[in-house]
Amino acid sequence: MSSSYTIEGNIPFVIKARNQAGQVLLPIWILLFIAWGYFQTKFIILFSRSFMALVNAEPREGIKIIYNPPYLEQIIETIIWIMFISAFIIGVALGFLFGIFVLQEILWRTLGTETIEISKEQIIWSRQIPFVRLAKKYPISSLLKIKVLLPENIEIKKLDKIRPMLVLFRGMGSGAISLQYEKETIGIFGLIKSMDAEIILKRLKDLSYIDLPIEV
């Protein structure tokens, strides 16, 4: 089983799911992340040393040829250096951002939790990893229908098997429960299966205090 969920209370109605899809591979992911950080650090150090050695290089003894390049060549050389250094900085920045993305995904697939809190006024859907929480709110007054998500042209059993692996931490927009919110259809709660979503909605339908058009 790749994820598990619990239902807590009736007012508000709270469902929590925990992602367990990648716990077995956690040691491998950590080693890969450490290796990536090590090689990126070595690359930065190597570049910095090479650049400083080139800048601080002293002329060799012996015959010295003094050459003053034309003004245009100096400009071109300066532009090339600026482009080279800029490309290096951008590359390091992109590598750093990629590292953050990878770290988030590791945390999401091992320690990530997803929560739906349903009250009389609104539905709050959130995803959380250590130190980061993403949340969206949907007023009950703007909801037209809530039902089990049955995507077209996709066998739901196959989707249930791969859904926890497809759902990314920041990809809030797909799941096993469908909300018809104003003019949009939004899928929420991606860590559970359609069978679980059906059980949850049946229990939610039995709660008389929530005025929601629930379709099971």
> pLDDT tens-digit profile of 138-149?
888 888 888 888
CA distance 66 to 68: 7
Q: What's the distance, Cα to Cα, between the start and end of the chain in Å?
A: 24
Burial class (CB in 10 A: 0-12, 13-18, 19+), 130: exposed
- Give the separation between CA 174 and CA 188, rounded to whole angstroms: 5
Residue 143: other Cβ atoms inside 10 A: 18
| Strand spans (E) along the chain | 3-8, 13-19, 113-118, 122-129, 132-139, 143-148, 177-181, 184-188, 214-215
- Report whether the peptide linkage leading into residue 12 is cis, meaning its omega lies within 30 degrees of zero: yes
**152, two tokens:** 């077209």
Most distant CA atoms of the chain, gap in Å: 95
pLDDT per position as a tens digit, 89-143: 887 788 778 878 878 888 888 888 899 998 888 889 999 988 899 999 988 888 8
Q: Residue 34 pLDDT more than 70?
A: yes
Write out the DSSP string of 196-214: HHHHHHHHHHT-TT----E
The better pLDDT of the pair 59, 34 is held by 34
Helix (H, G, I), strand (E, B) or coil at 147: strand
Please report the pLDDT score of residue 173 as a whole number: 65
